[in-house]
Amino acid sequence: MCNVCNKGKVVYFRAYSGERLCSRCFTKTFEKRVAKTIAKYDMLRYNDRIAVAVSGGKDSLALLRVLAKIEAKFPESSMVAITVDEGISVYRDEAIKNAEDFISKMGNVEHVKVSFKELFGFTLDDVVRDGAVDRAGIKPCTVCGILRRRALDIAARQVGASVIATAHTLDDVVQTYLMNMFRGDIDKQPFGIRMELEGFVPRVAPFKLTPESEVVMYAYLHNVPFQSYTCPYARTSMRDMIRNFLTEYEENYPGTLYTALTSFEKLIKPSNVSLQKCEVCGVPTSRRICRACEILKHLNVREVPIQ
Ligand code: SF4
Ligand code: ZN
Ligand code: ZN
């Protein structure tokens, strides 16, 4: 029997709090925590135009569903789902189809799609297949991650978004902090916190205090489609090793992820990043040439557009 309502059938055991929850109480507490995260970190404003980064994976569609419910209470806000098509056949095609189906069932959510092909002139498959990625000595995931970020920025500006929301979970954020620490780089800004810097659309992560396992359960309970294909370029990376370690640790010592996040955030001393304009595309960057332009230069393709 559910610990909260004392009626419903238990579908989820929240190990770190000891709660056994029915579907209704799980959903309610899940959505409440997302709303509290947004309020705690002052992530969204009542009149934001929110660009939700929707890859088509379950996390991003779950985020879209929760934000749509929260934003319904703020009539001056609006929301647009943005999907970046990197051009990874089968894998991304399936994700985009899942996103389209899910969004069309939601009814009133605007969906904008942009692609590497239209923005940069190639698909990720193209530059892997023709050997450009190998010749440049970069990994497909690096090209994908950096250019996806740029594509999302471009699309967010095009739709007049005031903020970008991503579906990074508590697990993702702690993985990132640990990776930064292993690289001797802990002094970075806290992850997923709204930072208003000129020339940037701020990014927030409303799932930052929500464990991945709960996002999976929420997605499952609310008919969010799951992908059946994995990305052909996914390889065992430092992040995978850290993810496996943290997952096992959390299973044995529930609550570790949250404790780790708060400990890391006490250590982070936000630095005043001094930004200059990228010499090629003009976006604010801490380097002479931004990473997107650097990648395009290595791949020997044309300049990255700013918007
Ligand atoms: Fe992109 Fe790498 Fe993720 Fe595939 S695994 S979608 S290439 S970042
Ligand atoms: Zn209940
Ligand atoms: Zn640049």
Q: In CATH, what number is assigned to the domain containing residue 249?
A: 3.40.50.620
Tell me how far the alpha carbon of residue 304 lies from the centroid of ligand 3, in angstroms: 7
Q: Of the bound ligands, which one is closest to the alpha carbon of residue 286?
A: 3
DSSP lists the bridge partners of residue 284 as 277
Host H or E run for residue 216:
helix 212-221
Ligand 1 probe mutation, 54, 89, 93, 144, most atoms within 8 A of CB: 144
What one-letter code names the amino acid at 252?
A: N
**306 vs 160, 185, 204, 278, 282, CA distance in Å?**
14, 28, 21, 10, 7
Task: Confirm whether 262 is domain-assigned.
Answer: yes
- Residue 147 contacts residue 281 (beta carbons within 8 Å): no
Tell me how far the alpha carbon of residue 13 lies from the centroid of ligand 1, in angstroms: 31
Tell me how far the alpha carbon of residue 305 lies from the centroid of ligand 3, in angstroms: 8
For β-strands 10-14 and 19-22, DSSP reports them as antiparallel
**pLDDT value at residue 193:** 87
- Rounded distance, CA 276 to CA 287, Å? 7
Q: Alpha carbon 118 to chain centroid distance?
A: 22
Measuring CA to CA, which residue among 166, 154, 146, 77 is closest to residue 113?
154
Res. 196: pLDDT tops 80: yes
What does the pLDDT look like over 118-144, one tens digit per residue? 999 999 999 999 999 999 999 999 999
- Rounded distance, CA 265 to CA 260, Å? 9
Res. 263: pLDDT tops 70: yes
Task: Confirm whether 278 is domain-assigned.
Answer: no
| Tokens read off for 27 | 């959903």
Q: Of the bound ligands, which one is closest to the alpha carbon of residue 23?
A: 2
Tell me how far the alpha carbon of residue 27 lies from the centroid of ligand 2, in angstroms: 9
DSSP lists the bridge partners of residue 114 as 84
pLDDT above 90: percentage of residues in the chain? 80
Q: Of the bound ligands, which one is closest to the alpha carbon of residue 143?
A: 1
**pLDDT value at residue 268:** 83
**129 vs 89, 122, 135, 241, 296, CA distance in Å?**
12, 11, 11, 27, 16
User: By residue range, what is the domain housing residue 204?
Assistant: 30-273
What does the pLDDT look like over 73-98, one tens digit per residue? 999 999 999 999 999 999 999 999 99
Instruction: Provide the domain count of the chain.
Output: 1
140 lines ligand 1 (CB under 6 A): yes
Q: What is the pTM of this model?
A: 0.94
- Rounded distance, CA 243 to CA 230, Å? 17
56 lines ligand 1 (CB under 6 A): no
Res. 274: pLDDT tops 90: no
Ion ligand 2 neighbours, Cβ < 5 Å: 2, 4-5, 8, 22, 25
**pLDDT value at residue 300:** 78
Task: Confirm whether 42 is domain-assigned.
Answer: yes
Task: Confirm whether 107 is domain-assigned.
Answer: yes
Nearest protein CA to atom 4 of ligand 1, as residue: 231
Let me know the angle formed at the C-alpha of 267 by 150 and 274, rounded to the nearest 5 degrees: 45
- Residue 56 contacts residue 94 (beta carbons within 8 Å): yes
Task: Confirm whether 128 is domain-assigned.
Answer: yes
Ligand 1 probe mutation, 89, 92, 115, 141, most atoms within 8 A of CB: 141
Task: Confirm whether 1 is domain-assigned.
Answer: no
- Rounded distance, CA 48 to CA 30, Å? 22
Residue with tokens 């389209």: 100
Task: Confirm whether 294 is domain-assigned.
Answer: no
**pLDDT value at residue 234:** 87
| Tokens read off for 8 | 């419903």
Q: Alpha carbon 184 to chain centroid distance?
A: 23
Task: Confirm whether 150 is domain-assigned.
Answer: yes
In terms of pLDDT, which residue wins out, 291 or 302?
A: 291
